[in-house]
Structures are given as C-alpha cells and as structure tokens.
Amino acid sequence: MNANPVHVKRTTTILRPDQTRVLLRPFNPGNPQRVGRIIARIMALPEKRVGPLLDDVSAEFSQRHQQIRKLFLERFQEVRDLLLTDEELSEQRQMLIGSYFLAEYSLESAALFNPSIVPHPDQSNLAPGALRFILSLRATGEGHISSLTFRTGIIHADHRIEVLTPSGFLTEPRQIPNPVYERALFERKLFELGLTNEFTRRVMNKLGESFALEDLRANLATEVKQSGRPDGMRQERRNAARGIWMLARSNYEVQFQPEQRLSERIIFPATPSQRNGIEDARFVCFQNDDGTQVYYATFTAFDGKVVLPELVETSDFLRFRFITLNGPAARNKGMALFPRKINGLYAMLSRQDNENIYLMFSDNVHFWNEHKLLLKPTFPWELIQIGNCGSPIETDAGWLVLSHGVGPLRKYCIGAFLLDLDDPVKVIGRLRDPLLTPDQNEREGYVPNVVYTCGALVHKGELIIPYGLADHATTFATVPLDEVLAAMH
C-alpha cells in the first residue's frame, strides 16, 4: 500500500450515451442501378403529391435537425447524376429525392467514453476561482463506428464540476475544399511511406512550394495519362498514384460555424484511414515558443483492420486541421504530446509494442523517428500492459503522467508516475497502487472492469480526472495533487 493516503473523491455526475442525439448521414441503399430505380419511382409521382409528401417528411424531422430542407437539397445534388433525364425538376421534387438518400445515425447509441479535458479558450464571465473547460469524448454508435463529440462545463472554486446540458441538434463541419499543402513536408511524408520514385518526382516537380488539392489532382491525371492507359501502367506507378492521393486525402481541414454550440459539433470519420472510427483523442493545450497557444490531439484512426496514429490541430474548436503522423516511431495507439517543447524539441509519450511506455523527441510535430523505453509493467495491477492516460501535466515537482494498467481478468486501472521537468527520460516517482480501480458500480458496461481516461487537468491544487466507465459512460473523480505527489515512490 502507499505509505501516504490518497483520498479520491468520485462525483455523482455521469454522462450516459443518449440515443436521441442523431445526425443526418448519407444513405446509400445499393449500387447505382438501384439508386436510379428509386429515383425513377420518385420521378413517377405526380407533382401534386410531391409538396404534401415533402411537408410530411419535413414536419416529422424538422424538430430533430436544423435547416432540414437545405440538407435535403444538398443531398439531391450529390445523387443528381443518376437521374435518367435532363428534365428540369421543381425544387420540391429535388428536396423529396434528397430525403430518400439520408438516414439518421445515433452517434452515442452504444457508448460515450474515454474523455479528455482541457481549459476552454474563453474564460470570460466566470466567478472567481472557476475554470471553464472543454471535454472531448469518444461517441460510439451503430456499426461500432466512433466519432469525436464535445461538452462544455465549469469547475467551480469549491471543485464542484458542472457539465452543461448538450444541444439536441448535431452538425458535421464543412470540409475546406482546397487545403494548402507544403511541398517539402508532403515529399518527406511520401519518402516515409516508401512512395518516392520517378513517377512521384515528376508529379511533385510540377508543383510550387505550396499547392492546393486541385493542383495535385491535375498533375496526377496528367502523369497517369502520359504513362499510358491506367490498366497498362506498371504496378509501381499505380501504387504511387493511389498513395499520393490517399496521403492528400488524409490531410484536410474542416470548419464549423460560430453560431453552432460546441456540443452540436461532431467530427465523424471522413477519410479511408478513419473508415471505422476516430478513437481516444488525447487533447492538450500546447504552449508555443512565442507564447501563443494551440490545441493538439493525437487520436487513433481505424479502417477496420489497421490502426494509425493521427493528429488534429485547432485554435478555437471551430476550424480543425487533420494531419498524418509519420516516421518509424509513429505507430500503434496511445500517443500523447507534452504541452510544450523540452530543450527545443517536441516530446511525446507512446506505446509501440502494446506493453511498455516509450518517450520520443522530434524537431517536427508531424515526424517521429526514434523512441526510448521509459517504463515497463511492474506492479500486479499492470503486468499485462501499461500506457499513458493523456498528456503529461506540468507541476512544480515534475511532469505528472496518468497511466493505465491491465491486470488479472483484463481489469483496467488508472495509476500515475512522475518525470523530471528538464529531462523527462528520468522517472522520479511512481505510484505502487492505482489511483482508480473499477468499483462495484463501475464494473458493468460494454467492456467490463475498465476505468480509462484520455486526459486530466489540475485546477487550484486539485487533480480533475474525467474517466470512462466500462467503455460505456463517463464520470469524474477529484484528488488533491499534493496527496498524489506525496504517495509517489
């Protein structure tokens, strides 16, 4: 047992998955031939029936979605190429057709868990001693697809935690149509992926120091055409063209509108690498060398077979930039960025081998080439594996890192260790016993016997830990920071 007692206080606040929070997503009922037949049936409806039918659909769903007729029209534009006629359609018929190719998706129907917490960029109009925060959560719905959702709340001066009621509306961001790519960075990523060859050099040499997606698309089309028919191209060129395009698609930006409340903003998987989910985002408020701040989050992209670590960047939680992580050390799950550079370098915790915790340094936040072993499983509650539970927290005593450990019967617990501020390769303290272990009220859920967090913070001397319960719901615990540090061995 720890020689010094640690008094963890569990709160009564529990965020449970809410099946009423639904998002309109494109619905594809089959191949283009079937879609064409469905459109033909809608086209056969007499015009006098179109308006009443549209009114019925709008009335039924308008209380669940904002600007629903606009969404119907946008979806029609996406399927209009499958119309078998050039006949001019009424706007009502266009919207009715669009409504048949949308479906509601319940983001949280299965789970709402694995949270991380960071200070909100807006700390105005608060009582003395209070802190406004942003909570990111992994929402899992139909098909076990995970997306990224948000809540806001306040930690009051007495450490009481208040989470604001989320809006009933959900909205996906608008994807920025032509993000700008830096050529040198893009070429470096191609090299890391083993895609540098004569074909890729010809494509890239025609681009400027920065270029848009459409510039790249045009160059690819030209080089593919000059190389002969696509089915006659050598396999190397086909793979290179596909790889260049996939890399470009994996780096993108999205934009929410300022009038959308934070709880209305949903980041749903958008690229092939994310096809089956965006998992376990670890947000951190990062301090730049010039004193400005930016929020980074490392997360796991899952395509159904392969897991890839990726990075998202935002300054305001309105515009998000998604960036691939590259280099031989950028692999597996559980990467967590330190909140500032150390000795001029970015620092990151990682878990390359599913068992141990590693430490990495880099001069570029997008590239990670080497890793050093930091911690191995040592205590009975973590003998299967250990990993971080979010970004390190800077304290006067050192870098406080929450960890997870897996023990008998695959039970997940949350522990902690301490790293030297100037040389985080040095482990200067470690809890022998976990801070949090699943109690009788936390065992049951989607995955039994699991408590897990993706990021905590310290406020007024109190460690605030949001954590997932059995991969199903989310709650909070608080503990005096001094007690945690005093219990370190």
Residues 424-446 pLDDT 10s: 999 999 999 999 999 998 999 99
* End position of a domain, from candidates 200, 215, 250: 250
The number of residues making up the chain comes to 489
- Do 226 and 257 share a structural domain? no
Task: Summarize the confidence of residues 175-188 as an average pLDDT.
Answer: 83
- Give the pLDDT confidence score for residue 76 in this predicted structure: 96
- Do 244 and 391 share a structural domain? no
* End position of a domain, from candidates 106, 139, 161: 106
3-state secondary structure 29-65: CCCHHHHHHHHHHHHCCCHHHHHHHHHHHHHHHCCCC
Note whether 381 and 407 are within 8 A (CB). Answer: yes
Structure tokens at 269: 């998987």
- Do 345 and 401 share a structural domain? yes
Task: Summarize the confidence of residues 420-426 as an average pLDDT.
Answer: 98
Average pLDDT, the chain: 92
Distance CA 358, CA 387 (A): 9
Name the amino acid, one letter, at 449. N
* End position of a domain, from candidates 202, 217, 250: 250
Output the CA–CA distances (angstroms, integers) from residue 129 to 65, 135, 156, 158, 162, in the order listed: 37, 19, 7, 8, 14
- Burial class, 355, CB count within 10 angstroms (exposed 0-12 / middle 13-18 / buried 19+): middle
The DSSP symbol for 272 reads G
- Do 220 and 286 share a structural domain? no
Q: Could you tell me the residue range of the domain that residue 256 belongs to?
A: 9-18+107-174+252-486
- Give the pLDDT confidence score for residue 14 in this predicted structure: 96
Task: Summarize the confidence of residues 70-78 as an average pLDDT.
Answer: 95
Q: Residue 199: which of 223, 216, 219 has the closest Cα?
A: 223
- β pairing state of 319-324 and 252-255: antiparallel
Does 55 fall in a domain? Answer: yes
Q: Report pLDDT digits (tens) over 109-161.
A: 999 999 999 999 999 999 999 999 999 999 999 999 999 999 999 999 999 99
Q: What is the CATH number of the domain that holds 333?
A: 2.115.10.20
Buried b (16+ CB within 10 A) or exposed e, 48-84: eebeeebeebbeebeebbbebbebbbebbeebeebbe
Distance CA 99, CA 102 (A): 6
Q: For residue 310, list its beta bridge partners.
A: 299, 324
Q: For residue 24, list its beta bridge partners.
A: 104
- Give the pLDDT confidence score for residue 85 in this predicted structure: 76
Does 90 fall in a domain? Answer: yes
For CA atoms 437, 8, 351, 308, give the dihedral sign: positive
Does 127 fall in a domain? Answer: yes
Q: Report pLDDT digits (tens) over 230-284.
A: 544 567 777 788 888 878 888 889 999 999 999 999 999 988 778 888 999 999 9
Does 102 fall in a domain? Answer: yes
- Report residue 418 CA to chain centroid gap: 27
Q: Residue 338: which of 298, 393, 289 has the closest Cα?
A: 393
Output the CA–CA distances (angstroms, integers) from residue 309 to 272, 325, 368, in the order listed: 14, 6, 11
Residue 287 has pLDDT above 80, yes or no: yes
Higher pLDDT, 180 or 1: 180
Question: How many distinct structural domains can be found in the chain?
Answer: 3
How many other CB atoms sit within 10 Å of the CB of residue 256? 22
Does 285 fall in a domain? Answer: yes
Output the CA–CA distances (angstroms, integers) from residue 27 to 74, 151, 199, 233, 263, in the order listed: 13, 28, 37, 35, 24
DSSP states along 372-440:
EEEE---SGGGSSEEEE-SS-EEETTEEEEEEEEE-GGG-EEEEEEEE-SS-TTSEEEE-SS-SB---T
Q: What pLDDT band is residue 326 in, cutting at 50, 70 and 90?
A: confident
Does 121 fall in a domain? Answer: yes
3-state percent helix, strand, coil for the chain, nearest multiple of 5: 25, 35, 40
- Do 302 and 166 share a structural domain? yes
- Do 464 and 438 share a structural domain? yes
- Do 292 and 158 share a structural domain? yes
- Give the pLDDT confidence score for residue 168 in this predicted structure: 84
C-alpha Rg value of the chain to the nearest Å: 25
Within the chain, how many helices (H) and strands (E) appear? 9, 28
Structure tokens at 187: 């070429």
Q: Report pLDDT digits (tens) over 348-364.
A: 999 989 899 999 999 99
Distance CA 230, CA 235 (A): 10
- Give the pLDDT confidence score for residue 304 in this predicted structure: 74
- Burial class, 161, CB count within 10 angstroms (exposed 0-12 / middle 13-18 / buried 19+): buried
Residue 412 has pLDDT above 80, yes or no: yes
Does 3 fall in a domain? Answer: no
The pTM of this model reads: 0.91
- Give the pLDDT confidence score for residue 301 in this predicted structure: 86
Q: Which of 94-108, 148-162, 208-222 has the lowest mean pLDDT?
A: 208-222
- Do 141 and 13 share a structural domain? yes
Distance CA 484, CA 434 (A): 11
Residues 6+ apart with CB under 8 A from 235: none
Residue 376 has pLDDT above 80, yes or no: yes
Does 70 fall in a domain? Answer: yes
- Do 92 and 38 share a structural domain? yes
- β pairing state of 277-287 and 336-337: unpaired
- Do 277 and 207 share a structural domain? no
Residue 229 has pLDDT above 60, yes or no: no
Residue 106 has pLDDT above 60, yes or no: yes
Residue 22 has pLDDT above 90, yes or no: yes
- Do 111 and 97 share a structural domain? no
- Give the pLDDT confidence score for residue 228 in this predicted structure: 57
Distance CA 78, CA 354 (A): 42
Note whether 371 and 350 are within 8 A (CB). Answer: yes
- Do 217 and 315 share a structural domain? no
Note whether 27 and 101 are within 8 A (CB). Answer: yes
